[in-house]
Amino acid sequence: MNLPPLVRKMLAEFVGVTMFLTAIISAGATFGTPEGGNLFHAASLAITLGLMVLLVGGVSGGHLNPAVSLYFFSRKEMTAVEFIGYVAAQLLGATAGVSLGEYLHGFNIAGFTNAASTLPAGPAFVGEIVATAGLVLLIVTLIQNKLTHLIPFGLMLWVFAAFNFTPTGAQANPAVTFGLMVDGKLSVSAGAQLILAEIVGLLVGVVLSMLLTSATAKKKAAAKKK
């Protein structure tokens, strides 16, 4: 079947995000206190993310994350239509993923809620900045060093690590946060704050990559002069 290129890319993003959110819900790897974390849960969702990036990377680039798509859009490597299409597919995938994850265990999605969040607002906000900045910095650095083939494995390791040291379970992805909001595991207000933190994290990651690249370039230039 010959689908239009953008439709094919959107389908790839939809499938990848759907399976990632299914893993998050099914593994019980939600957010909460660090003591509530589980290494098997972290490994399950991290491996699923890495595999999904490997699976769809050749079709859509394997963004699976609106923050990543926003980065490429800001660099004019995506058109506005492509960016909107990617984000729409990612959010739909998040909704499908939480629905499938709950269904597999005999539950239905709870829907949006305004209930007070149990997450500590400050640490959660900073945690998402750190998790997203690290993820973006990792992707950008690997791209700049022409090591794109390592991105799935790098993401896998970063998500596994950050899951265990952030109070949010290192969502680092507005689509993941949106999915948890749809499933009632995050209130609308708490989810909106985390999405804002993820956007800030994107900016921090980009700035850090620019600073590191500048420092590396200066060292190389100095070495050539010697």
7 C-beta neighbours (distance < 10 Å), count: 11
Indicate whether 37 pLDDT > 60.
Answer: no
Indicate whether 205 pLDDT > 70.
Answer: yes
Residue 74 near residue 136, CB atoms below 8 Å: no
- Tens of pLDDT, residue by residue over 72-111, are 999 999 999 999 999 999 999 999 999 999 999 888 898 9
- C-alpha distances (whole Å) from 181 to each of 43, 98, 114 are 23, 10, 10
Query: Using CA of residue 29, residue 33, residue 36, residue 39, what is the dihedral sign?
Result: positive
CA angle in degrees (0–180, nearest 5) for 95-88-52: 65
What pLDDT score was predicted for residue 222?
A: 53
Q: By C-alpha distance, which of 144, 175, 148 is closest to 70?
A: 175
With respect to residue 18, please indicate whether it lies within any of the assigned structural domains: yes
- Tens of pLDDT, residue by residue over 38-82, are 788 889 999 999 999 999 999 999 999 999 999 999 999 999 999
pTM: 0.89
With respect to residue 224, please indicate whether it lies within any of the assigned structural domains: no
Q: What is the mean pLDDT of residues 11-29?
A: 91
3-state helix, strand, coil in the chain (%, to 5): 75, 0, 25
Distance of alpha carbon 27 from alpha carbon 100, whole angstroms: 12
With respect to residue 155, please indicate whether it lies within any of the assigned structural domains: yes
Least confident interval from 96-100, 125-129, 163-167, 204-208:
163-167
Indicate whether 214 pLDDT > 80.
Answer: no
Q: How many domains does the chain have?
A: 1
CA angle in degrees (0–180, nearest 5) for 58-158-198: 85
Indicate whether 35 pLDDT > 50.
Answer: no
What pLDDT score was predicted for residue 73?
A: 97
- Structural domain that includes position 170: 5-217
Which domain CATH number covers 108? 1.20.1080.10
H-run or E-run covering 181: helix 174-182
- Tens of pLDDT, residue by residue over 104-120, are 988 889 899 888 777 77
What pLDDT score was predicted for residue 226?
A: 55
What pLDDT score was predicted for residue 34?
A: 39
What pLDDT score was predicted for residue 182?
A: 95
With respect to residue 222, please indicate whether it lies within any of the assigned structural domains: no
With respect to residue 203, please indicate whether it lies within any of the assigned structural domains: yes
Indicate whether 225 pLDDT > 80.
Answer: no
With respect to residue 225, please indicate whether it lies within any of the assigned structural domains: no
Q: What is the dihedral of CA 96, 99, 105, 111, to 10 degrees?
A: 160
With respect to residue 83, please indicate whether it lies within any of the assigned structural domains: yes
Residue 19 near residue 52, CB atoms below 8 Å: yes
Residue 207 near residue 140, CB atoms below 8 Å: no
- Tens of pLDDT, residue by residue over 134-173, are 999 999 999 999 999 999 999 999 999 999 999 998 999 9
With respect to residue 226, please indicate whether it lies within any of the assigned structural domains: no
